Structure formats: C-alpha cells, structure tokens
Amino acid sequence: MKNYLTELRTVIWRTAGARYNSARRLKRKELFSTISLTFFSVMSICLAVVQKMYASAISNVSGLDDYLTTLSILSGILLLAISLMEWGSRNGSNADALYKNAEDLNSLQRRIKQELFKLEVIASSWDECSAFSTEYDLIQSRCDVNHDPIDDHRFLAANRLADEFASKNIGFFHAAYIKLLWFFFSIWYYLLFWCVSVTALIPVFTGIKFF
C-alpha cells in the first residue's frame, strides 16, 4: 500500500507540475500576444502618418509609396490575425483554469505525503488509497484544458535529480535544451513576426530623410 501511495503521489506531483508550467507558458503567450497587438497597431498608425507627413520625400523614391501602402495593409492583416488567434485560444482563461487545477492537485499531493508519514506509525486501509485515487481523477476531470507534453518534459527537466525521476536519465544539456524549447514553444511565431516587421521597415528608414 505504501508503494501504491508513493507512486500515486509522484503521478499527481508530475501532473500538477506540468499544469503549473502550462499556466506559465500560456500567460507568457498572452503577454507576447498583447505586445504584438500593440506593436502592429502602432506600426499601422505610424506608417499612415509617415505617408502623409513625408509625401514629397516618399515621391522622390521610386516605389516607396506603394511599399508603405503594402506594409500598412499587411500590418492590419497581422493585427486582425493575432486578435482572432488570441480570441479563439483563450490563453488567459485557460492559464487560470490550469493554475487552479494544479493548486488542487498539489493540495492532494501534500495530503498523500502526510498519509505516507502516518503509515510509518499506524496502518492504513486500502479504502483511503482508493479515495485518494478517485479524488485525483475527479480533480483532473474538473479542468477541461490539458497541458501539452512539452510542459511535462519541462517538469522532468527541472526535477531530473529527484529520486522519483532518476530513471529518466536526463542529462544537464538535454535538460537545458528542453527548458529553452519550452520557453520559446508558444511565442516563436510572435518573435518571427517582429523580426520580419523590423526588417521590412529598414527600406522606410533608409529611403526617407526624417531629419
């Protein structure tokens, strides 16, 4: 029975840890989404202002006016696309749900740990073990959002030295790679949008004499 409770506690700890990681990752994604929306909104407005204020300078550079118009349209499309993605993914509410579920799982994990200490003194019944297992399933079912495998890998990488996960044989560099991959997992395309946008603005800054 002690082995069963120990294994159940490890499973719950792992699930809770993965869901904590998922909540953190989704919060980061929501932050980058908000920054991207702000960036492309400002970019669209600035491009329109530049076209109006520096019309004479723009007309002296062949094709620059059409280029600015194209950039304005593309920034508007990206703004709409990111808005729809954010609305459809519900990152903020999903992160809150996962965090609350992880808190409930962590509370159950601590109670099982207390039960394991009690077993050192007095015997326990299998009914209590069954009750813990049922409660674990119930807590999991209350959250309709699940974590991604990368969140579980991130937990294992962070706890690779724990006795419970020693059999995973995760080395230092492998753990560092997993942590880096997890960090950029949900935000890499936002960073790509930013890089492409900044690169696309270079001809504007080099073609117009602002001062």
Give the model confidence (pLDDT) of 33-90 as tens digits.
999 999 889 988 988 888 888 888 888 888 888 999 999 898 889 888 888 888 888 8
| Residue 119 near residue 4 (C-beta atoms within 8 A) | no
Each residue of 140-165: b (16+ CB within 10 Å) or e? eeebebebbebbbbbbbbbbbeeeeb
What average pLDDT does this structure show over 103-117? 90
Question: One-letter amino acid identity for 108?
Answer: L
What average pLDDT does this structure show over 174-189? 95
Look at the chain and report how many structural domains it folds into.
Answer: 1
In 3D space, the residue among 29, 15, 23 whose CA is nearest the CA of residue 152 turns out to be: 15
pLDDT value of residue 119: 72
Using CA of residue 43, residue 49, residue 54, residue 58, what is the dihedral sign? Answer: positive
For 93-102, the pLDDT digits (tens) are 999 999 999 9
**Confidence band, pLDDT 50/70/90 cuts, at residue 117:** confident
For residues 176 and 73, what is the distance between their CA atoms, to the nearest angstrom? 40
For residues 93 and 145, what is the distance between their CA atoms, to the nearest angstrom? 10
What average pLDDT does this structure show over 2-24? 92
Three-state DSSP class for residue 127: helix
pLDDT value of residue 115: 83
In 3D space, the residue among 25, 43, 51, 27 whose CA is nearest the CA of residue 79 turns out to be: 43
**Domain residue limits at 112:** 2-207
Residue 205 has pLDDT above 90, yes or no: no
Three-state DSSP class for residue 153: helix
pLDDT value of residue 2: 77
**Confidence band, pLDDT 50/70/90 cuts, at residue 207:** confident
What average pLDDT does this structure show over 124-143? 84
Question: One-letter amino acid identity for 11?
Answer: V
pLDDT value of residue 120: 65
In 3D space, the residue among 145, 153, 191 whose CA is nearest the CA of residue 23 turns out to be: 145
For residues 96 and 85, what is the distance between their CA atoms, to the nearest angstrom? 18
Residue 195 has pLDDT above 90, yes or no: yes
For residues 149 and 181, what is the distance between their CA atoms, to the nearest angstrom? 12
For residues 111 and 22, what is the distance between their CA atoms, to the nearest angstrom? 23
pLDDT value of residue 123: 59
Averaged pLDDT of the chain: 89
Highest mean pLDDT among 12-16, 69-73, 186-190: 12-16
